[in-house]
């Protein structure tokens, strides 16, 4: 009979859902789904100093947003609960007593210590092959603290054993904990699970990813307007490569093609530029209607839905994050602040010439139809007739209308902006100059 695949993540509720924990959760989730197994969420809340009330909900919310649905956990039924360590204290104390009775543990200074045996401890890591430790390099260690709470190493072993966890997929920083945990499994007479230690996420300077150098809270990515499917795709690529060399793929492909052999032993670099690129790809895959719905929470300026319908096709190719919507579009409803220095620098002329060119625009533009095609024909004809420098002239117009040097296509922008606002803004520059 084939043993059921059971994996878990066991975050501490410290106030945020850390992107590093989600990265580990993703790999556990994929392995469980690929093997029709179970993905378990357990809350490690025995460190009272770090515990933050309500922090569990942050973890639940992040996993739900990303579509990483767990099969058992504190907030749903499961056969091996409770799924909070703080509710399992009697279980730990019972098994500590068993080790004392076997003379495998002893009391010192109010705490219970485990006796480390002689010899070697090794295991065949699913990512790193054989790893071996000399036991004489490991000292006796605490399994029950003086406050009667278990140590990390003891609690995790008891929990994983009683919850029938078959594979422990976690970050490489836990490699040094593994020999202690294997000794405890052996002392308790428990079956030892298989271990897979994933490479740690790293900053650009190869230091461990941390909030000092990179945003680590999943809530930040949600607030910035990253799509969950883009963030998942990005995390898939950290330490794992698609067999066809793809960069863009749905989670279903990750699940189908997942294998420990394809996981790199070297630490992946957490590159936000790559995530930005991926998010842009996923945004462009959305229909205009889907994008309109996604934009709603980011429409801080209160642009009307009718105007959003007209704007979306103009910004779809440029938008990297949903939070950029206001910045990309505010000039459609708010008169932009025109920096004189910018228009002179990019327009490449003095005030007198820009004023004369804008006056020429106003002389002929009143009579044309207000469509992007007619506007483009008018402006290009004017450039040719007056022998203007096309790039600099168009840039001066762009800045006058939007206050920016990078915007959606100029004539489409003018069409959506409308005749009244366009002429008013051109006249303002003439008056100011």
- Domain boundaries defined on the chain: 88-198, 218-329, 335-432
Query: Backbone phi, then psi, for 77, in 5-degree steps?
Result: -70, 155
Q: For position 204, what pLDDT does the model report?
A: 83
What Cα–Cα distance (Å) separates residue 403 from each residue in 126, 398, 400, 422?
Answer: 56, 7, 6, 12
Residues 113-136: tens digit of each pLDDT: 999 999 999 999 999 999 999 999
At residue 347, does pLDDT exceed 90?
no
At residue 203, does pLDDT exceed 80?
yes
Taking residues 283-297, what's their average pLDDT? 96
Confidence grade of residue 68 (pLDDT, cut at 50, 70, 90): very high
Instruction: Determine the Cα–Cα distance for residues 299 and 333; give it in Å rounded to an integer.
Output: 12
> Nearest Cα to 239, choosing from 61, 30, 46?
30
Classify burial at 384, counting beta carbons within 10 Å of its beta carbon; exposed 0-12, middle 13-18, buried 19 or more.
Answer: exposed
Instruction: Determine the Cα–Cα distance for residues 352 and 34; give it in Å rounded to an integer.
Output: 69
Residues 19-49: tens digit of each pLDDT: 999 999 999 999 999 999 999 999 999 876 7
Q: For position 172, what pLDDT does the model report?
A: 95
Peptide bond connecting 56 to the previous residue in cis, omega within 30 degrees of 0: no
Which CATH number is 335-432 given?
Answer: 1.10.10.350
At residue 413, does pLDDT exceed 90?
yes
Confidence grade of residue 1 (pLDDT, cut at 50, 70, 90): low
Positions marked active-site: 211
At residue 398, does pLDDT exceed 90?
yes
> Is domain 88-198 classified as CATH 3.40.50.620?
yes
At residue 349, does pLDDT exceed 80?
no
Q: Which pair of structure tokens corresponds to residue 224?
A: 């910035």
pTM over 0.85: yes
User: Do 383 and 393 contact (CB within 8 A), yes or no?
Assistant: yes
Using a CB cutoff of 8 Å and minimum separation of 24, what contacts does 306-315 make? 307/332, 307/333, 307/416, 310/416, 311/408, 311/416, 312/288, 313/288, 313/412, 314/408, 314/409, 314/412, 314/413, 314/416, 315/408
At residue 213, does pLDDT exceed 80?
no
Q: b/e per residue, 107-142, with b = 16+ CB within 10 A?
A: eeeebbbbebeeeebebebbbbeebebeeeeeeebb
Q: Which residue has the higher pLDDT, 340 or 229?
A: 229
> Nearest Cα to 283, choosing from 232, 322, 339?
322
User: What's the mean per-residue pLDDT of the chain?
Assistant: 94
User: Do 307 and 333 contact (CB within 8 A), yes or no?
Assistant: yes
Residues 130-170: tens digit of each pLDDT: 999 999 999 999 999 999 999 999 999 999 999 999 999 99
Say which residues have a Cβ less than 8 Å from residue 427's Cβ, sequence separation at least 6: 362
Confidence grade of residue 325 (pLDDT, cut at 50, 70, 90): very high
Taking residues 233-249, what's their average pLDDT? 96
User: Do 354 and 340 contact (CB within 8 A), yes or no?
Assistant: no
Which CATH number is 218-329 given?
Answer: 1.10.1160.10
Q: For position 2, what pLDDT does the model report?
A: 67
User: Do 332 and 315 contact (CB within 8 A), yes or no?
Assistant: no
Instruction: Determine the Cα–Cα distance for residues 308 and 311; give it in Å rounded to an integer.
Output: 5
Q: For position 397, what pLDDT does the model report?
A: 95
């Amino acid at each position: 009979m084939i043993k059921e695949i059971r994996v878990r993540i066991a975050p501490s509720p410290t106030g945020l859902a850390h992107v590093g924990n989600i990265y580990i959760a993703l790999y556990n989730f994929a392995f469980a789904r690929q093997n029709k197994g179970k993905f378990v969420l357990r809350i490690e809340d025995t460190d009272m100093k770090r515990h933050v009330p309500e922090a569990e909900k942050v973890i639940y919310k992040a996993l739900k947003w990303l579509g990483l649905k767990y099969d058992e956990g504190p907030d749903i039924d499961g056969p091996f609960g409770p799924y909070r360590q703080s509710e399992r204290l009697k279980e730990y104390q019972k098994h500590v007593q068993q080790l004392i009775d076997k003379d495998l543990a002893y009391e010192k200074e109010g705490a219970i210590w485990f006796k480390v045996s002689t010899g070697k401890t090794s295991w065949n890591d699913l990512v790193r092959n054989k790893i071996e430790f000399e036991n004489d390099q490991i000292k006796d260690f605490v399994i029950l603290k003086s406050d009667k709470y278990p140590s990390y190493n003891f609690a995790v072993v008891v929990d994983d054993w009683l919850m029938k966890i078959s594979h422990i997929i976690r970050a490489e920083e836990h490699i040094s904990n593994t020999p202690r945990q294997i000794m405890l499994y052996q002392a308790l007479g428990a079956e030892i699970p298989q271990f897979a230690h994933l490479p740690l996420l790293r900053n650009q300077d190869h230091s461990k990813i941390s909030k000092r150098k990179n945003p680590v809270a999943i809530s930040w990515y949600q607030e910035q307007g990253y799509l969950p499917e883009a963030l998942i795709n990005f995390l898939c690529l950290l330490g794992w490569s698609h067999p066809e060399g793809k960069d863009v793929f749905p989670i279903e492909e990750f699940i189908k093609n997942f294998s420990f052999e394809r996981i790199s032993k070297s630490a992946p670099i957490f590159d936000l530029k790559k995530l930005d690129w991926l998010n842009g790809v996923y945004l462009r895959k959305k229909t205009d209607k889907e994008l309109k719905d996604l934009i709603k929470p980011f429409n801080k300026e209160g642009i009307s839905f009718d105007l959003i319908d007209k704007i979306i096709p103009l910004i779809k190719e440029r938008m990297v994050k949903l939070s950029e919507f206001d910045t990309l579009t505010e000039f459609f409803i708010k008169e932009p602040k025109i920096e004189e220095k910018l228009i002179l620098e990019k327009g490449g002329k003095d005030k007198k010439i820009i004023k004369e060119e804008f006056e020429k625009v106003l002389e002929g533009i009143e009579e044309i139809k207000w469509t992007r095609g007619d506007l483009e024909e008018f402006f290009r004809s004017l450039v040719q007739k007056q022998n203007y420098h096309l790039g600099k002239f168009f840039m001066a117009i762009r800045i006058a209308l939007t206050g920016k040097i990078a915007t959606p296509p100029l004539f489409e922008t003018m069409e959506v902006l409308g005749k009244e606002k366009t002429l008013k803004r051109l006249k303002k520059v003439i008056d100011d100059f």
